[in-house]
Structure 1
Amino acid sequence: MLQVLALAALPMLAGALLPWVLLRPNRLAPGEYLRLPPALLALMVMLALLPLLAARLFPRLTWAAAGLAVVAVFWVLGLQTRSALVGQAEFARASAAAGVWLSGLGALVAVYGAGLLLVGRQRVLAWAWLPAVLALVGTGHLSGWSVLIEARNEGPRWVQELAQHLRLVGTALGLSTLIGVPLAVWAAGRERVAVAVLGLANAIQTLPSLALLGLLIAPLSALSNAFPALRAAGISGIGVAPALTAMTLYALLPILRNGVVALRGVPAGTVDAARGMGMTGRQIFWRVQVPLALPVWLSGVRQAAVLLVGVASVAALIGAGGLGTYIFKGLQSAAADLILLGAVPAALLAIGVDAALRGLEVWLGRRFGRVG
C-alpha cells in the first residue's frame, strides 16, 4: 500500500510543476498556458505527500488525506480558471492543462491506495471526496472551467443526446438478448450448432465498428428504396436502423459465449439429482440450470452492455445521435472541451453500467452458490 501511495505522489508532484490552465480567446484559437502561483504550488506539493505521510503516522486517516487531495485538484482548478477569465471576452475559454490531469490521476491513485487500508463497509469512506466535488460543481466554484461552460451552452441538447445514447444501448442490448438467449440454449447441447453460431458471432466481432456501419448502408438503403413502408418507418442507410443493427450484432458474441459456457457448466450431478426427484426436462431447465447458469450468463450481458456504450458513440457518424455527436464535433473543430463533453459522460456511463451489473452478478452468484 505504501508503494501505491508513493507512486501516486509522483504524478501529483509533476502536475504541480506543469501548466495548470490553458487560456484561449475563444474555443478554437491557440492560447497561453498558465502555471500555479507559488502559494498554490506549495499547497499541491504538500497535498501530494500528505497521503503517504498519513499512511505512516495516522493510517486510519489515509482515506481522508487522499480524498482531500482529489477535492483540492478541483478546488484549485476552479480558482485558476475563474481567475484566468477575469477581464476576458465572453468567448474566452479556460481549459484544464496537463497539470490538472496528472494531479487528478495521482490523487485518484492515492484514493485507491488508501482504500486498501479499509475493510468491509468502511470502503465507502474511499468515496467521501465525491460529494465534496459535486458540491463544488453545484455552488458554481467550477463555473469558469471550459467544459462546464460548454455543458451550460449545450443544455437541453446534451440531455437529448444522452437520452438517445441510452436508448440506443438499451434497445440494442434488449434485441441482442432476445436473439442470443434462445441461440445459446439451442447451441449448449449441440456441438456443431455451437461451433457455427459462435464462429459467426466471432467473425462479426472482428469487423471494426465503423466498417460494419459502412457495410450496412448499401443494403438498408436498397431495402428502403424497394419497400416504401420501410422508409416510412424510418429505416434507411443512415440513422438509427443501421446503428441498432450493428450494435445488436456486436453484442451477440459475449451473450452467446457466456450462455453456452454457463449452461454447459451446470454440474451433471445436480441435473441427475433433479431428474431423480422426478422433475421434467422443462422443470430442470427453469428451476436448476437457469438459476445456476444465470451469474455467468449475466457476466456476458455486462460485457455486451459496456461494449455497446462505446459502439453507440461511433454510431453518431451515421446520424444515429448520442454522446458521440460531441466527440466527433470536437474532433472536426479541434475543440477538446466538446470532446470531453461527450467522452467523459460515455466513460462514466460505461463504468456505472459495469458496476451495477457486476453487483447484480455477485448477488446472484451468492444466492445460487456460484460467482460469475
Structure 2
Amino acid sequence: MLSRPGLLFAALGAAAIFLPFLTLAANRIVAGQGVPIWSLAQAAPGLVALVLGLALGVISRPALRLLGAALGLAGLLWLLVQGSNALLSDAGEFARVSPAAGFWCLLVVLSLLMADALGALSPGPWARAALLALTVGLVALLLRSGALSDLSIMQEYASRKSGFQTAALRHLGLAFGSLAAAALIGLPLGIACHSSARLREATLPVLSFLQTIPSLAMFGIMIPILGWIATAVPGAKAIGIAGIGFAPAFFALVLYSLLPVVANLLAGLQSTPPEAREAARGMGMTGFQRLIKVEFPLGLPVILAGLRIVLVQNIGLAVIAGLIGGGGFGTFVFQGLNQTATDLILLGTLPTVALALISAITMDILVELATPTAERTR
C-alpha cells in the first residue's frame, strides 16, 4: 500500500524541483538570478538522492518513509554545498549565493515527510529527546564544519559574529526570563484564583484584555510608563529601567504571558477527578496538602502545556523588541528590512524559528513525561 501523505509530499517535492534552487547575485543587496537544480555542477548525486528519498516517502511503512526523508535531506544538503561552491567559483569578488524558493520548498516537504513518519512510528518521549539531541548536534556540526560558509547568510553571520552572540543571549533573556517572571507571578495568582471564585471572576477578564492588545501597541504603551518610572523613581535607571531597550520589551512579554499561565493552572487544578479529591479528604489531608500532593501533580501536564504556549509565544514576540532597542534576533530582521538585505533578515528569522521548534518539542516531551503512563497509552 501507498501512503497518502507520502504521495502528496512526493507531488509537492517533484513540483519544487522545477523551481529555482539557488540565487546568484552580484552583491548582498541587488536581486539575484535564479538557478535551477539541473544546471548546477555535480548535481547528479544529490538529485538522485532527493528523488529516491521522495520515492521512498510514498511507501506505507513508516521506517522507509523516515529513511526516505533522511536520504532526501542529505541530497538537499549535497546540492546546496556543491551548487554554492560551483556558482561562486566563476563569480565576482562580491557575489553572493542564497537558497531560493526550490530549496526552501523541498526543505519544508522533506521535514513534513519526516514528521509524518515519526508520528506513525510514535517514539516515546526519551526516544524523541534523543532524536532532537541528535538533530541539533548534526546541525551544529554542519555549521561548525564550514561547509556552508559560501552561503550569503553565513557571510552575514561572519561579519556580525560578536553581535549575533549578544543578540542570541538577549533573545534568550527576553523569552526565558519573561517566562520565569510570569511563572513566579502567575502560579501563585492562579492558585489564589482556584481558591476564590470572586478573585477568579475579577482576574481572568483583565488578563484576557491584556492578551488582546496588539504586541507592537503593548511595547509602545510600556515606553512612556517605564520612561516616567526611570525619571521619577530613584534608582530605577540603575537597575535597567528605561523607556526603550530591554525593560519595556521584558515587561510587555510578562503581561502577555500571564493569561496562559493562570488559565492553564486553573484548568490543570480543576481537572483533578472528584474521586481523587474525596480520597484525599478521607485521608485527612488539608486543603494545602491536597493542592501539593494531589491536584498539582495530576494537573502538571496541563500546567506545562500553558508554559509551552508562553515560551513559544515569547520567542516569536521577542523579535519585535528589536524595534524599541530591546535587542534579540529582531535586530537583524529590522536591519535587513531597512537595507533590503534578505539574508540579513534570515539571519534573525532562522534562529528564531529553530529556537521555537526546539523549545516546543522539548516542552512536549516534558508534558508527556508528566502525564501518567496509563493516560499516555490510551
User: If the length of structure 2 is used for normalisation, what is the TM-score?
Assistant: 0.89
Q: Which residue of 1 aligns with 2:72?
A: 69
C-alpha separation in 2, matches of 1:142 and 1:55: 30
Q: Contact 1:4 / 1:109 at 8 angstroms: preserved in 2?
A: no
C-alpha separation in 1, matches of 2:272 and 2:258: 22
1:308 to 306, 314, 318: 314
Q: Contact 1:326 / 1:342 at 8 angstroms: preserved in 2?
A: yes
Could you tell me which amino acid in structure 1 is paired with residue 159 of structure 2? N
Structure 1 residue 250: Cα displacement? 0.2
Show CA shifts across 1:326-370 (max 9, x none): 111111111111111111111111111111122111111126968
The answer to whether the aligner puts 1:333 opposite 2:364 as a matched pair is no
The answer to whether the aligner puts 1:32 opposite 2:33 as a matched pair is yes
Q: Which residue of 2 aligns with 1:363?
A: 369
Q: Which 10-residue stretch deviates more, 342-351 or 217-226?
A: 217-226
Gaps of 5+ in 2: none
Identity percentage over the alignment? 33
Structure 1 residue 194: Cα displacement? 1.2
Q: Which residue of 2 aligns with 1:298?
A: 304
The answer to whether the aligner puts 1:94 opposite 2:97 as a matched pair is yes
Q: Which residue of 1 aligns with 2:186?
A: 180
Q: Which residue of 1 aligns with 2:9?
A: 8
Q: Which 10-residue stretch deviates more, 109-118 or 167-176?
A: 109-118
Q: Which residue of 1 aligns with 2:237?
A: 231
C-alpha separation in 1, matches of 2:163 and 2:68: 38
Could you tell me which amino acid in structure 1 is paired with residue 121 of structure 2? L
Structure 1 residue 90: Cα displacement? 3.6
1:191 to 190, 197, 200: 197
Aligned pair count reads 371
CA gap 1:133/1:69 in 2 versus in 1, 3 angstroms: farther
Show CA shifts across 1:285-330 (max 9, x none): 2111221122211111111111111111111111111111111111
CA gap 1:58/1:174 in 2 versus in 1, 3 angstroms: closer
User: If the length of structure 1 is used for normalisation, what is the TM-score?
Assistant: 0.90
Q: Contact 1:95 / 1:146 at 8 angstroms: preserved in 2?
A: yes
Q: Contact 1:292 / 1:368 at 8 angstroms: preserved in 2?
A: no
2:113 to 106, 110, 113: 110
Structure 1 residue 32: Cα displacement? 2.0
Could you tell me which amino acid in structure 2 is paired with residue 199 of structure 1? P
C-alpha separation in 1, matches of 2:60 and 2:200: 58
Secondary structure at 2:37 match in 1: coil
C-alpha separation in 1, matches of 2:371 and 2:302: 8
Secondary structure at 2:89 match in 1: coil
CA gap 1:265/1:66 in 2 versus in 1, 3 angstroms: closer
Structure 1 residue 18: Cα displacement? 1.7
Q: Contact 1:9 / 1:49 at 8 angstroms: preserved in 2?
A: no
C-alpha separation in 2, matches of 1:244 and 1:60: 44
C-alpha separation in 1, matches of 2:376 and 2:296: 12
